[in-house]
Amino acid sequence: MTTSTAIRREQTHWFSPALRREMEILVFGHAGTPVLVFPTSKGRFHEFEEHGMVDAVASSLEKGRYRLVCVDSVDAESWLNHELSPRERVVRHSAYERYVLEEVLPFIRPLNGTGKLWVAGCGFGGYHAVNFTLRHPDCVDGCLSISGSFDVRSLMPGFSDEELKNHNPKEYLPNLTDEWFLHLYRTKVEFILATGEWDFCLDANLALSKIFDNKGVRHWLDVWGDHTRHDWPWWQRMIHKFLA
């Protein structure tokens, strides 16, 4: 799918010290609040453009309300690489988090005229958006998860360690008592959980919403009717609603 020529499109890359390989980024828009976009499972930095998500928010991008910063993933090297041991997969994901925190966020800061940052993702990208926000709420002002799922332990049954637990929102959030985190969740971050009535991730979103309720964290759980499923045509409509 071709992106509107009225939308500024810039592609860049660099060798990531955290990941020890080249990583690519696409930026759409010329001004406004940056939205850091995580791809779906094993997805690439260009999938938002290819699946019509950029065009779905074209008006907002053209008006300078938002700027999409679409990063690459390493899911095929971490959570979804079944040739590695569970421990190696967790370590690789932690390296990816360092890449985002220590390399991508400094890249975004000069682009940011608002002082705000949103993160977003569909499918497994929703996991990344929520987990990154929960772990670094001082860096994020809004989190949009579309059809996300939040239990990475299910990807490696029988394995358990502290680092895995600390990347698994379904596990660490119910037991979180640190007031620094809870205060930021409650007063700073805007959480949006969007899903559909026929989405296979519906239960995961209902469960996370309940945990948020128990922690006193305000959020918007938006469950779509009309047989909404886990796929791009619905996600286009959802992102248009939230970033229009």
Query: Assign residue 204 a region: left if phi > 0, alpha if psi is -120 to 50, beta otherwise?
Result: alpha
pLDDT score of 225 more than 90: yes
Q: Which of 224, 223, 170, 227 is nearest to 198 (CA)?
A: 227
pLDDT score of 113 more than 90: no
Segment 58-101, tens digit of pLDDT = 999 999 999 999 999 999 999 999 999 999 999 999 999 999 99
Where does the pLDDT of residue 112 fall: very low under 50, low under 70, confident under 90, or very high at 90 and above?
Answer: confident
Where does the pLDDT of residue 4 fall: very low under 50, low under 70, confident under 90, or very high at 90 and above?
Answer: low
Strand order, beta sheet including 21-28: 9-16, 21-28, 66-71, 33-38, 118-122, 142-146, 190-196, 219-224
Helices then strands (H, E): number in the chain? 11, 8
Where does the pLDDT of residue 228 fall: very low under 50, low under 70, confident under 90, or very high at 90 and above?
Answer: very high
The structure's pTM equals 0.96
Segment 164-189, tens digit of pLDDT = 999 999 999 999 999 999 999 999 99
CA distances from 243 to 65, 72, 190, 208 (A): 9, 21, 13, 22
Contact in structure between 133 and 101 (CB atoms under 8 Å): no
| Complete domains list, the chain, with CATH | 9-243 (3.40.50.1820)
The reported pLDDT for the residue numbered 140 is 98
- Average pLDDT over all residues of the chain: 96
> Tokens representing 3?
């992106």
What average pLDDT does this structure show over 30-59?
97
Where does the pLDDT of residue 6 fall: very low under 50, low under 70, confident under 90, or very high at 90 and above?
Answer: confident
Contact in structure between 13 and 22 (CB atoms under 8 Å): yes
pLDDT score of 132 more than 90: yes
What average pLDDT does this structure show over 186-195?
98
pLDDT score of 5 more than 90: no
Q: What angle do CA 76, 101, 114 make, to 5 degrees?
A: 120
Segment 136-166, tens digit of pLDDT = 999 999 999 999 999 999 999 999 899 999 9
Per DSSP, helices labelled H in 81-135 are 86-99, 105-108, 124-135
Beta bridge partners of residue 121, listed in sequence order: 38, 145
Where does the pLDDT of residue 3 fall: very low under 50, low under 70, confident under 90, or very high at 90 and above?
Answer: low
Beta bridge partners of residue 26, listed in sequence order: 11, 70
Contact in structure between 143 and 118 (CB atoms under 8 Å): yes
CA distances from 129 to 15, 87, 160, 244 (A): 23, 22, 23, 19
Where does the pLDDT of residue 30 fall: very low under 50, low under 70, confident under 90, or very high at 90 and above?
Answer: very high
